[in-house]
Amino acid sequence: MLNVLSVLIGLSSLVFILPGVFPLLGALNWLAVPITLVGLVLGMVSSRNTGRNLNLVLLVVAILRLSLGGGIL
């Protein structure tokens, strides 16, 4: 059950991450990072790895985009 919730949280953060990849919309990743962290914690607590892996990949993409855009120095 926690894995399904983690995947749903990951998919909801994907709504912010996909537009955040484009120029001038990178600030959306600041909204996506905390949502993805919550999903990652739920994925680590669950017995399966799907939610954890999805949220980990999304978190790396969001942080990489923030660092490339100057959002994280």
Please report, for the chain, the start and end positions of each structural domain, with discontinuous segments joined by +: 1-46
Whether the pLDDT of residue 69 is over 90: the answer is no
Task: Report d(CA 62, CA 40) in Å as an integer.
Answer: 13
Specify the residue for token string 């991450």.
17
Tens digit of pLDDT for each residue in 5-50?
999 999 999 999 999 988 888 889 999 999 999 999 999 999 999 9
Q: Please check whether residue 42 is in contact with residue 2, taking contact to mean a CB–CB distance below 8 angstroms.
A: yes
Looking at residue 64, its pLDDT comes to 92
Whether the pLDDT of residue 66 is over 70: the answer is yes
Specify the residue for token string 């919550």.
38
